[in-house]
Amino acid sequence: MQSQYFYRYAIHDKMKKDTSSKGSVKLFWQWIEKKIAIIGNNKISTSFVFAMMNQQLNVEACLIAEKKSHMIKDMQYGTSFRSRTTLISGNFGECRNASLIVFTHDPFMDTKDMQQASSIVRKFVKQWMETGFQGICVVATPQSEVVAHWIMKFSGLATDRIIALGTMLDTAHLQSELGRYFQVNPKNVHAYMIGSTLEYGVPIWSRAYIGGRPILSYIMDEPDRYSFEKLEPIVAQISEFPREPLAEGRLFDCSIALGLTELVKVILEDAEMILTVGVYVQEKFGVTSGFISIPAVVGASGVKKVVPLTLSDAEQKQLVTTVKALDTAVQSGLSNEGGSKRGV
């Protein structure tokens, strides 16, 4: 197995030197099997693996958990029907040659104390960083922007290689419901929920479009048919589900798993897609420095760039409230962890 990975990386190094065709490099990455280490044994991790299998992602998925799950054996049998996805279980040593770590363990499951939660995150980070891991880390937990910030502090990984699932699901939900409201396909809806899953997300109505036409113009031209009052229940509904813990009875496991699969696929295939994910920013959107969910271009190297947004005064004010809540949550978990110093 070790020689197999050495062979893959040798090919990768050779192709990186040939910069004459970016398209050929993308085709290479779609052909070669990549390894994903999934840390956490819950419904999100198993649903995520099942979604990858059904989408025929060419990956070796390794579930890393303290307790073995009967679901692993069940899905391993299922890979005979979806042979492009390989499923194994293992320990943290598997992180050494992983392209991605997908962190799904909920540090808030057994505690509401932020310092205890950050200590749990630090324990996991220490174990995977000791293997020499230098890939991309995707965070799919409650308060994912907060957890991503802690991972940055404890790991020393480059900030563009840490991505939180953030409000990606919120944005998908908003686009779906707006499509229903305006009676168009959701793919024709361009609207974002930004901010955080910790506090209410901020719908960016000033930059929302249906088929290239601003939503604001629909409301102004047909006030009897469209109004912000009718849109408020959609936002209220979206604001509720991120607060649910990762428990057995949690809703939206399937949509979270599919969203997570989409994010991972974008990274592995270097799709350079704009997604509303939790990324590290400095001196933008009222953030001095930290993780916040905003539209960003994502590809094989992680976060390639942040998409600039001009917000209305009301939207900026809402976002400032979210930023303050995020900073408070992050710092409350770091008070005994060496302040702002990065690294384990």
Domains of the chain (ranges; CATH) run 33-164 (3.40.50.720), 167-333 (3.90.110.10)
Mean pLDDT of the chain: 83
The one-letter code for the residue type at 41 is: N
User: Which comes out higher in pLDDT, residue 234 or 81?
Assistant: 234
Confidence of residue 166 (pLDDT cuts 50, 70, 90): very high
* pLDDT, mean of residues 196-221: 90
* pLDDT, mean of residues 139-155: 96
Residue 318 has pLDDT above 60, yes or no: yes
d(C-alpha 296, C-alpha 319), whole Å: 17
Confidence of residue 281 (pLDDT cuts 50, 70, 90): very high
Return the pLDDT at 250. 46
- What global pTM score does this model have? 0.84
